[in-house]
Structure 1
Amino acid sequence: MITVLPRLGLSAISVAVLAAVALPSTALAEQANVEQEKQVFEKIEVTARKRTESLFETPTAITSIGASDIDKANISNLDDIGKFVPNLNITRYGVGNAAHASVFIRGIGLQDHVITTDPGVGVYVDGVYLGRQMGSNLSLPNVERVEVLRGPQGTLYGRNTLGGAVNVITKQPGAEEVARVEAKIGSRGRLATDLYTSQTLTDTLSFSASASYKERDGVGKAINLANPEKEIGEEQEFSGRLALRWQATNDLVVTAAFDGVENESGQSPYTIELTDPLDSNDPFNGDFPLLDKSMLPNNPDDLATTVAGIESTDYSGWGGSVTADWQASDVYSVKFIASKRSSEYTGGLDDDAVALNLSEFPEEGGADQYSFELQLNGTYDSWDFVSGLYYFNEDGFTSSGPFVFSPWNTPNGLLNDGQTASFGGYGYFDINQETDAYAAYINASFDVTELLSIGGGLRYSEDKKEANALFPSFAARKYVSADFDEVTWDVNASYQLTRDINVYAQVQKGYQSGGFPPRPFGGPDQFAAFDETKAINYEIGFKGQVHENVSMMVAAFVTDYTDLALPFNDPTAGGGFVTIVENAGESKAQGIELETTIAITDDFSVRSSIGYLDSEITHVDEGVIGIGEGDAPALTPRWTVMVAPSYFHDLEHGATIAVNASYSYRSDMQGQSVTRASEHIDSRELLGFNISYTNAEGDMEVTLYGENVLNEVYDVGRLQQSGFVGVMRSNDRSEFGIKFKKEFWLD
């Protein structure tokens, strides 16, 4: 592990703070060509509030990362975005499946993936809610931008955006007449290709199409399998997207889109560390007496499993949507979005990580969802509004088997105190859930004067959930149902201090739906609903161009959570690894986020950002197990830092050399919400670079790139079990290579 920060104390963070203040990253804006890329402070427009507006005039904390900067920072998946946005951390545990992404914003997120759990941060593609953690680690070729909203988004986005929202906006058909070919070859067997075209077919019809393929060798091997399907950490994915845009009339545009992905990868790198049992007085303490350190592979990236197939994972998903935009009059517009999505996955972990059959959970799951949203929007001289009706349906399942949970598999089949094991061994579990979600909302803003604007919104949300489960400890399948509803709101005010600087203040209420526990191995009584979580966020901010060469965005916030739902894992109860979800009581998060950009010269600029977050449980309800006051949310670093300098040099005859570098830091954190030394995750630092040559015509680019150049290997998740802790290791190891891009302009 890189030890720069521990060795220098807070000096590196201090440098980052100074860089963020003195070298004020705003949004990482997209520039269309070399000349535009030098215009650091061109106007950036976002649609995060379901209306087009300037980034600096939007009264909320938002980062917009454009396609150009996605390329310069070597961002290929959604989890890479988590390295560059303040108070954002994206990680994965999800049965070792590379398609899984757990998004945490300001301490709110979800590590689990079982169908009865909902994320705390919403992920959207062109306004369509994805709904599942599995499949959220999107590949990002040919996107226009990614917008990250921080803080509860209870009015415009509604349910399950307690921490914020991530909206991926794809390139629209007809926006450019181009065919583009990209190829990448690099170390660790990296191969990747991207094909994209956007063309106008007639005066009213245009289309875009893209296809992407990528692969990379693994970092370890399944050493006890004769014919393993995949290496550990191996990557292989094919994805594609087709969009058709029809200008039906001067006032009506209809866009249809279809996308699909097939991911067949190796299990994410995983190992264990032996620890003391959680409860030595419990006869079912699961201390795994047969488990010995000598059984672990010398290479922690290798896996010693004897379960064929568990070293391989797959994910397949597809989706279709139709969006109709109708400008009904000079004042009113109507927008309708309909979508259908479907996904399936397989995965699983050999939790004990050795050749013995002690704790193994192969798993499969899937979900079908469809949604409809109807918006009525209006724009007047001094005010505007966005309103809508929303419906979402999801029907999905999670199942595992035959799984093994026999921690008491001692010689003679007896427990340490001589009792015969009454459960464990091979078994199956199955959970199914259907969700119907309804909402109605309105959000409006009013210009009181030329300098002062006020706004606010209101939303009613209702969820109806029906679930059933069968576990080894259940005498029969148990059926449950629950309804959840909430009214959420926001109010805000913004004031234009100067032509280029705005300040704002806002109060937001957010809501995360309640649900059912994912692993009630302890018996049917555990399969009971937990309540929804609510949050109120108080925030002030400052945005704008503070100097002709300096832009800055600052947000300071305090968020109060009530009935905060947190998972609690208990490996000592029942015939499997129990995960229940408890409404722990109350918690508070407070922090500050700073994003800045400075154009030092016409050719040299520095973007930087820093986030600070102090979050902890402030009150625990009576009877809550495991979680205590002072515990912090899982996977939530106190400090997040990014620095990204860029330099351009014009060559003779119009060609250009561009040099980009990036530094990302995430401080240490807890793997779970219960504070345990064994679940402590150390800080990590990542360095990358991108050196590109663009020809004079601007249609060809050759790039030398490096990712994680110092080969930092770090933990992305730690989960204490009785007698050992499971450790999910990073898979973004050092990689060096060459990228080639060629564009063919068709107009």
Structure 2
Amino acid sequence: MKSTGVSVLALLAATCPAHAWAEEAGAAAEAEAADAAADGSGGSGSSGGLQEIVVSAERTNITLQKASLSVSAVTDDTLKKANITEITGLNGSVPGLVIAKSGGGERNISIRGIGTATPENPNTQPGVSFHIDGVYIFNSIAANAAFIDVSQVEVLRGPQGTMYGQGSTGGTINVVSKQPEPGVLSGSANVGYGNYNLLKADAALNVPIGETIAVRGAVQRYRHDGYAKATSVAGDPGYELDNANDWGGKLAVKWQPSDRVSVLLSTIQYKGDANATAQKNILDPDPDPRRLTQDYPGKTYIRTELYYGVVKFDLGAATFNSITSYQKLHSKLSWDSDGLNTDLFFALTEGIQPGTGVRYDHTALWEQNTTSWTQEYNLASNNDGPFRWIVGAVYLHSKNQSYINEYRSRIGDGLDAPLPDNAAYNDPLVSRLTYAELSSITREAYAGYAQGSYELTDKLTVTAGIRYNHDKYSGVSDSLSGGSTSNTSGAFLQPTPGVGTTTQRMTGKFALDYDLTPENMVYASFTRGFKPGGINSSAAQGNSSFTVFGFENGTKPTFKPETLDSIEVGSKNRFLNNTLQINASAFYYFYKNLQFLEDDAILYSEGISNGPKAEVYGAELEMDWKATSHLRFEGSLSLLHSKFTGDYLALDPTAADAAQAAAGYAGNLFYTNFFGASLARESARVNIKGNKLPQMPTVQGSAAVSWTGQVGPGEFTARAQYIYRGKFNSRAFAVPVQDDTPDYSQVNLFASYALGETGLSISATVTNLFNKDGVNSRFTDPYGSGQVSDTYIPPRQAIFSVGYAF
């Protein structure tokens, strides 16, 4: 099956890519969709060829085929056809993009293998920056939110060190909302129903107020029953997992008093309240991947609020832009840490030993509250001459409060409820805690950037950009492990200031592009990206082997920033009278100080470390062919290779626990044999030189064929899509089996019928046609249980929808 998947992918390659900035992107995408609908081309021009797309991939307007970088877009139409309701559904739709899940279902995003290797850690930044309408979203948990009134989702591949700065080492994702349109009264409503009691409903209304003001509102509801069940939850043997229960809304006002001035005020609200993600332990005795023998009823609650304003003022020679945002996130996650109902592990509390009875091992609470605000100003040239430029300044401020409770307890004692974060030091439940942490981390960053492009000749253009980044972390924290607190009065956790860290870096870009013909271009670029360093809470409190024993490899109070230098060459082409588009790129990355999560010789002092030097190289191919006025082929192919090229002795949490147990110090015996147990754990370090980097499939891609034409009084569309994602390592340790995330393939079908000018439409969607149990991601719990679990792609879904638009 693998060779067949690869051969199919080799025949076809990817989407028509595009990226645009904030409100301009939404307007451009909606205009494109309207043109496509008018001529029946499905995105092609009226001449019957492929439509030219004008984008602002780096915040200056340029046609897609002239942009000297790799960028893709997934439109609202494609999202609906593939039943993509949130970011995880993009797996396979964009070359090199992988979105995995960690404990509690947090999304880990990577592009070309560059992303985050530090799951469940609020003290670090992602390697792929996430934006909504150009606004940087601080907390990666916000990426769990459903898409709301989306025009398109844009993905820039490769480091974006100039325009987007820190946190965009691997690239950038920007979710572009549909924008208010002055002078236009329009709206839409859609409702769909499917198996698993699925309900999808959304409505949007654009109302003009006079000739210069428009208001756009949108609401949506998405729910379905669980794709999986937990069979050992007391009192509920069919406890649902992987269900959905989402609400979302948006309200935006746009004032455009003239062609030179526009003001946009918008808010996007989201709430998700469901049971936990299904994480199937690979040791689960039940062979059904959708049945878990876990015994703890996990929950997921996420509430996000985004408020932002965009002001544009055309000064003639240049346009001034101001982007201001305020955002809040509140999340409460809980999950079964081992995913089983069996007593496999030594407990750290209450002296429970293997074989003495079934018990719980659960994270009763991981709560986060994040408040952030951003301000950006930029000035971009408007001239049509040989020199185009943009300069800008950015300020970011964020405060993240995090609170964690993890228990191991006898089933007969019942489920342990989360302790209030101000619980007294002598509260009886404190002694039952396996681990607890309370922290408040403040991040403050500012940056200045400039980029310019100059046409040396009518065919050759040079682009250069530079950015200065300043990033500062500070905060307070406290933690306990093994049910013991050092406090003798007051609260059981009493955060104190830790070691702060400040990072200053220059990033930038240099590129050349050359027009071979008006329809064929080649380019070469050098870009640098970086992700700032940060604070390790436990080590900053003096609890790691580095601070206690002076072990050089121990978790340090702070970790360094990571940097990535990229060399990329590419070509963008149109052939066959503008009906065939083929874009290709190849790249080589020099990667330094990869931030990844590893264990420490002292139990529960794990943290973020910096890995050795690494290399990544690969190639991507994208194709879009309008074979006839009705028939269209699309596809993508991504090939990747990577390895660590430097030496580093890393400590895998699973290996550390095994070494501790083998030395006779398992479980709570660690605390009565502190030094000996620490030495045993330290001895488990192994050199990761030569290992592949995590979340980097060797082969990945998709292929699609669609047909659109007039049938009776309306237009009929049919589309079939094939997705393949190759296997990859889930962690830098590359332990066989444990870290092997298997490959999978998926087939999706879509059909719709639009009844002419009535605005009515009906559609049917089938995703995962052959009901494959594909593994989306494999996760090893680094905090406590050390167990390995799989999360699966959704099973086969059949959805019937009815829509109306005017």
Sort the TM-score into its range (normalised by shorter chain). Answer: 0.7 to 0.9
**2:592 pairs with 1:604:** no
Provide the residue aligned with 2:304 in structure 1: 317
Sort the Cα spacing of 1:671 and 1:186 in 2 relative to 1 into closer, same or farther, 3 A. same
Within 5 A, what are the aligned runs for 1:594-673?
A: 594-621=621-648, 625-626=685-686, 628-653=688-713, 655-673=714-732
Q: Is the 8 A contact 2:81 2:765 kept in 1?
A: no
Provide the residue aligned with 1:180 in structure 2: 188
Sort the Cα spacing of 1:515 and 1:544 in 2 relative to 1 into closer, same or farther, 3 A. same
Sort the Cα spacing of 1:662 and 1:522 in 2 relative to 1 into closer, same or farther, 3 A. farther
Provide the residue aligned with 1:532 in structure 2: 561
1:364 counterpart (367, 377, 394): 367
**What is the CA–CA distance in structure 2 between the aligned matches of 1:436 and 1:545, rounded to whole Å?**
45
Sort the Cα spacing of 1:679 and 1:590 in 2 relative to 1 into closer, same or farther, 3 A. same
Identical columns (%)? 21
Alignment gaps of 5+ in structure 1? 275-292, 410-422
**2:557 pairs with 1:498:** no
- Please, which moves more after superposition, 170-179 or 719-728? 719-728
**2:404 pairs with 1:400:** yes
**What is the CA–CA distance in structure 1 between the aligned matches of 2:189 and 2:535, rounded to whole Å?**
46
2:746 counterpart (675, 686, 692): 686
Q: Is the 8 A contact 1:373 1:388 kept in 2?
A: yes
- Please, which moves more after superposition, 707-716 or 148-157? 707-716
Deviation digits for residues 646-700 of structure 1 (CA, Å, limit 9, x no counterpart): 11131133x1110011111110111211111222111010110101111121622
- Please, which moves more after superposition, 84-93 or 513-522? 513-522
Q: Is the 8 A contact 2:621 2:636 kept in 1?
A: yes
Sort the Cα spacing of 1:404 and 1:626 in 2 relative to 1 into closer, same or farther, 3 A. farther
Q: Is the 8 A contact 2:650 2:733 kept in 1?
A: no
Q: How many Å apart are 1:437 and its aligned residue?
A: 0.5
Q: How many Å apart are 1:186 and its aligned residue?
A: 0.4
Deviation digits for residues 145-188 of structure 1 (CA, Å, limit 9, x no counterpart): 22110000000000000000011111110175311001110011
TM-score for both structures, normalised by structure 2: 0.81
Deviation digits for residues 325-346 of structure 1 (CA, Å, limit 9, x no counterpart): 00112x1211001100000111
Residue identity matched to 1:341: Q
**2:130 pairs with 1:108:** no
- Please, which moves more after superposition, 311-320 or 46-55? 46-55
**What is the CA–CA distance in structure 1 between the aligned matches of 2:97 and 2:328, rounded to whole Å?**
27
Within 5 A, what are the aligned runs for 1:98-497?
A: 100-110=106-116, 112-174=119-181, 176-223=184-231, 224-226=233-235, 231-274=240-283, 299-307=288-296, 310-329=297-316, 331-355=317-341, 356-357=358-359, 359-362=361-364, 363-380=366-383, 381-401=385-405, 403-404=406-407, 425-473=433-481, 475=486, 477-478=495-496, 479-497=498-516
Q: How many Å apart are 1:138 and its aligned residue?
A: 3.8
Within 5 A, what are the aligned runs for 1:725-736?
A: 725-736=787-798
Provide the residue aligned with 1:279 in structure 2: none
Deviation digits for residues 571-615 of structure 1 (CA, Å, limit 9, x no counterpart): x851x4x54221112011100011101122110111010000101
Within 5 A, what are the aligned runs for 1:513-552?
A: 513-517=532-536, 523-524=543-544, 525=547, 526=555, 528-548=557-577, 549-552=579-582
**2:27 pairs with 1:37:** no
Sort the Cα spacing of 1:724 and 1:397 in 2 relative to 1 into closer, same or farther, 3 A. closer
| Aligned pairs, number | 690
Deviation digits for residues 238-271 of structure 1 (CA, Å, limit 9, x no counterpart): 0001110011444221100001001011111112
Q: How many Å apart are 1:713 and its aligned residue?
A: 1.6
Q: How many Å apart are 1:728 and its aligned residue?
A: 3.2
Deviation digits for residues 92-138 of structure 1 (CA, Å, limit 9, x no counterpart): 12423xxx321110111125133202100001111100122102134
**What is the CA–CA distance in structure 2 between the aligned matches of 1:119 and 1:664, rounded to whole Å?**
26
Deviation digits for residues 716-747 of structure 1 (CA, Å, limit 9, x no counterpart): 22216798632132252110020111012xxx
Q: Is the 8 A contact 2:5 2:745 kept in 1?
A: no
Secondary structure at 2:731 match in 1: coil
Q: How many Å apart are 1:13 and its aligned residue?
A: 1.1
2:780 counterpart (719, 723, 734): 719
Provide the residue aligned with 1:60 in structure 2: 69
Sort the Cα spacing of 1:45 and 1:65 in 2 relative to 1 into closer, same or farther, 3 A. farther
Sort the Cα spacing of 1:67 and 1:305 in 2 relative to 1 into closer, same or farther, 3 A. closer
Bigger RCO of structures 1 and 2 (CA < 8 A, at least 6 apart)? 1
**What is the CA–CA distance in structure 1 between the aligned matches of 2:649 and 2:186, rounded to whole Å?**
62
Residue identity matched to 1:718: F
Residue identity matched to 1:15: V
Within 5 A, what are the aligned runs for 1:688-703?
A: 688-697=748-757, 699-703=759-763
Residue identity matched to 1:27: P
Residue identity matched to 2:138: G
Residue identity matched to 2:618: G
Deviation digits for residues 549-571 of structure 1 (CA, Å, limit 9, x no counterpart): 2101111000101122222246x
What's the RMSD between the two structures over aligned residues?
2.6
**What is the CA–CA distance in structure 2 between the aligned matches of 1:499 and 1:297, rounded to whole Å?**
60
**What is the CA–CA distance in structure 1 between the aligned matches of 2:179 and 2:438, rounded to whole Å?**
41
Provide the residue aligned with 1:278 in structure 2: none
**2:586 pairs with 1:586:** no
Residue identity matched to 1:606: F
Q: Is the 8 A contact 1:717 1:729 kept in 2?
A: yes
Secondary structure at 1:497 match in 2: strand
Secondary structure at 2:6 match in 1: helix
Alignment gaps of 5+ in structure 2? 19-28, 342-357, 413-430, 487-493, 548-554, 652-684
- Please, which moves more after superposition, 28-37 or 263-272? 28-37
Q: How many Å apart are 1:406 and its aligned residue?
A: 7.8
Provide the residue aligned with 1:510 in structure 2: 529
Q: Is the 8 A contact 1:338 1:373 kept in 2?
A: yes
Sort the Cα spacing of 1:14 and 1:569 in 2 relative to 1 into closer, same or farther, 3 A. farther
Deviation digits for residues 266-286 of structure 1 (CA, Å, limit 9, x no counterpart): 111112234xxxxxxxxxxxx
**What is the CA–CA distance in structure 2 between the aligned matches of 1:229 and 1:333, rounded to whole Å?**
58
**What is the CA–CA distance in structure 2 between the aligned matches of 1:376 and 1:740, rounded to whole Å?**
44
**What is the CA–CA distance in structure 1 between the aligned matches of 2:299 and 2:433, rounded to whole Å?**
23
Q: Is the 8 A contact 2:649 2:687 kept in 1?
A: no
Q: Is the 8 A contact 1:491 1:507 kept in 2?
A: yes
Residue identity matched to 1:532: P
Provide the residue aligned with 1:27 in structure 2: 17
Deviation digits for residues 22-41 of structure 1 (CA, Å, limit 9, x no counterpart): xx733388532162416261
**What is the CA–CA distance in structure 1 between the aligned matches of 2:741 and 2:146, rounded to whole Å?**
26
Residue identity matched to 1:109: G
